[in-house]
Structure 1
Amino acid sequence: MPVVRHHGRIAEVLEQLGLLDDDRVPAFETWLLRKLEGITPGIRHDTEDWIRALHNGGPRTRPRGPNTVWHYLNAARPALLDWSNRYGHLREVTREDLLAVAGSLHGNKRRHTLCVLRSLFRHCKKKGVIFRNPTARIPVGPNQYHAILPLHDNDIVAATNAATTPAARLTVALAAIHAARTTDIGRLLMDDIDLGNRRLTIAGRTRPMDNLTHRALIDWLDERRARWPNTANPHLLINRVTAVRTCPVGRVWITKTFWGLEVTLDRLHTDRKLEEMLTHGPDPLHLTAVFGVSPGTAIRYATAARQLLDTPIERHDQRS
């Protein structure tokens, strides 16, 4: 049992010593093989070359994240399967085929699919395997964002009640008070915490620490010290798996407490930014200064706050 539990760590040590002969098939390869099933060989070859270029990067491009590659191929796959019934190569796909794909979709799904197919055909054009890019001059349209509305008080209470462990209570405080994203919470380092001066640094921005966050941090640090006193992991949040490593905890571990609830950590951080706009006025510059969001995001929140402030009855109905 101990060997099974620590096989990952043992493999790391053996690899550093040059003694590891890892003959396992990477998960990416099995996933790609499965996703390309049913696509005709000519189209499949160019699609696989495109996906590998996204995954591995190139001389002038950085590798895309696994989630991005996964979403790209999933978005393109329905069209590729449909074209495989009529064509043997991507060079046979016409502008009308792309317009048909666009006409069958709506909203952000249409925009995302067209952006993905544009990426595919640009790659093929760059490689010289197609004569012209059928996605040229087909507008993808603007992003259609969902309306930003404040959370119900009952939902916030449910999320607070679900946070029964020190780690979960800390994540709630970071999301609901400091508008921290789940990714940023997982990447927090011990060096980002300054208990003495009551300050913490989230995503490179230093913020004052309130009493609730201060108490949650102390509770978590006490548990962290008691359970893993000798860990070398520099991250603030750790678990039994990452305590013997130096990597951050996964997103699933951070969010699993809130599965099945209407409120997630991402919604808590969204609600916190909207609350800032409602309290201090719909000023995008203020939101950027406080939380470091991009100008476009700040404008979205300011617009949502302005609409809520202009319709007080509707805002009351959302909170009730």
Structure 2
Amino acid sequence: MCLEEGRRAKEPTRAVDYAAVTRNGQQIYLANLHHAYTQGETRRAFAVRTRPQPVTTPLRPAAFEPVRWRQLLLFRMPPNYADRVALKRKIDAPDTDMLAHCDVVLRDRAARHSWSKKLTNEVRRSIKLLQALQDTPGAKIHASDVLELPRLGGTALSTMEILDAAGLLIDDRTLAVRHYFAKHTADLPPKMTEQLQLWLDVMIDGSRQAPRRRARHPQTAHLHILGMASILRSWAAAGHESLAEITKKEYLAALPDRGAHRNFAEQGFRSVFRILKARKQVFLDPTRGVKLTPVTASIPLPLDTDAIRKALNSPDLACACAVSMVAFHALTGPQVQGLLLTDVRDGKLYLDDRIIPLADPVRARLRAYLDHRTLTWPNTLNPHLFINRRTAHRLTPASRNFPWIKVDLKPQALREDRILQEIYATGGDVRRLSDLFGLSIEAGLRYANTLEHADLAENRVESSSNPGTG
């Protein structure tokens, strides 16, 4: 058939319905004459029809219910991306009820968060790709399949947001710590691996079974595995099939002599054996009565004043604002990342149970950054203070590396420098550190002990000119 007739009859943003176009015959056109007069007018009319309009009331999604059955597979084969023709034919097929349902949610989200036309079209195409690759048409889509979209030129994160809002997403993503656990327990005996798997599940998900236990941060489990991995392999090489066979003497002999790895191993095995003992997987706890080895505290060091001054005067307004908050008020990196617009008002910063009057240099940089934020993303709904081009159209915070990746400073080192300047200025007043920065007594003593340090005493006069002082 003639392609011009198909383009003329098809609806905007939808594929050509060949059956409907050829139902009453075909209109033939002379080649290379049609676009010369109508291309510009068609493009302008299409832009008016597809321009995002402000939405005052939420759109009601089309009635759609995902199928409850699922095609079971003997084994999952990687998608065959070689047959591009068959895949393109599926994408160009008429829209289904599932696509219409997602399209309503997509248009609503795009209008509310000011998504560009390019991003909206990429998400619409990505959803069509996912439907074309489905084993069970009309079923919910797994997040692991969405993560494969970049290989086909699609977008994963925005598509996952739309599917989640439409109620069509099954989040089957695996935590990185579980991959790390599987890697370091692959060569262990089955019984030992089963016991460690029970421990990991309780650490990550918590337990409502007595004795109850709250879920821990995945990074905690990661550090425990890091300290225990080499010891577990040595026990497996010695012929042990289960952790119930480990005695207190073998446990003490396997620990490293010193260092952070010894502390990681002690804390990890204490956690493992406590959980296994509570679940009646072991008879005795070999870690009982063994004191933890104290970790050698590091000595906080001052930073170069010129580097801090350069970062404070950075042309990137987000960098200058973030650096000033840490340099003057000693905020932590996660605190800066989680700041909301409502946390800053009346020249004060409301942080947890603390009220911090902002210094004048901080207020000046904050005012400049807020003006830049308003001009760059005037319609953003993101409540976080620091946003970038990736998060401006969402509600999530920026990554922990933003905006620090643009300056040669780390927030923790800058925070330590600020607290050091305060301890120098007050002559070791730990109570003042606790009031100003919310530190505990032990943390305050870590900085107070630097007053008599010989290496730091030599540079005290030079560091006193740091702009974070006062």
**TM score, norm. by length of structure 1:** 0.87
Which aligned runs of 4 or more in structure 1 are off by greater than 6 angstroms? Answer: 317-320
Whichever residue aligns with residue 174 of structure 1, its letter is M
Deviation at 1:166, TM superposition (A): 1.0
1:101 partnered with 2:250: no
Deviation at 1:11, TM superposition (A): 2.6
Higher helix residue share: 1
1:36 is aligned to 185
1:185 aligns with one of 314, 327, 336: 336
Deviation at 1:174, TM superposition (A): 1.2
Confirm or deny: 8 A CA contact 2:177 2:221 kept in the other structure. no
Separation in 1, partners of 2:373, 2:282: 57
1:3-22 equivalences in 2 (<5 Å): 3=123, 7-21=156-170
Change (3 A) 1:172 1:130: same
Whichever residue aligns with residue 279 of structure 2, its letter is K
Number of residue pairs matched by the alignment: 312
Deviation at 1:131, TM superposition (A): 0.9
Structure 2 portions without partners, runs of 5+? 1-118, 127-153, 466-470
Give secondary structure in 2 for the equivalent of 1:251: coil
1:44-75, Cα deviation, whole Å (9 max, x unpaired): 11111111111111123222122222222222
1:275-313, Cα deviation, whole Å (9 max, x unpaired): 1111022111111111111222122222223x2599844
What percentage of residue pairs aligned between the two structures are identical? 29
**TM score, norm. by length of structure 2:** 0.61
1:112 is aligned to 264
Separation in 2, partners of 1:303, 1:30: 41
Whichever residue aligns with residue 443 of structure 2, its letter is T
Structure 1 portions without partners, runs of 5+? none
Q: Single out whichever of 85-94 and 66-75 deviates more from structure 2.
A: 66-75
Select the structure with the greater relative contact order (CA < 8 A; seq sep ≥ 6): 1
2:219 is aligned to 67
Give secondary structure in 2 for the equivalent of 1:201: strand
2:241 is aligned to 88
Confirm or deny: 8 A CA contact 1:110 1:140 kept in the other structure. no
1:147 aligns with one of 299, 304, 307: 299
1:294 aligns with one of 423, 440, 465: 440
Give secondary structure in 2 for the equivalent of 1:244: coil
1:127 is aligned to 279
Separation in 1, partners of 2:394, 2:173: 21
Larger Rg: 2
1:76 aligns with one of 223, 228, 232: 228
Whichever residue aligns with residue 160 of structure 2, its letter is A
Whichever residue aligns with residue 152 of structure 1, its letter is D
1:171 is aligned to 322
Deviation at 1:319, TM superposition (A): 8.3
Confirm or deny: 8 A CA contact 1:151 1:319 kept in the other structure. no
Separation in 1, partners of 2:230, 2:371: 51
Change (3 A) 1:126 1:193: same
Separation in 2, partners of 1:111, 1:176: 32
Separation in 2, partners of 1:242, 1:101: 47
Separation in 2, partners of 1:80, 1:319: 50
> How well do the aligned residues superpose, as a CA RMSD in angstroms?
2.7
1:271 is aligned to 417
Separation in 2, partners of 1:223, 1:298: 37
Change (3 A) 1:89 1:221: same
Separation in 1, partners of 2:286, 2:399: 40
1:217 partnered with 2:370: no
Change (3 A) 1:311 1:148: closer
Deviation at 1:245, TM superposition (A): 2.2
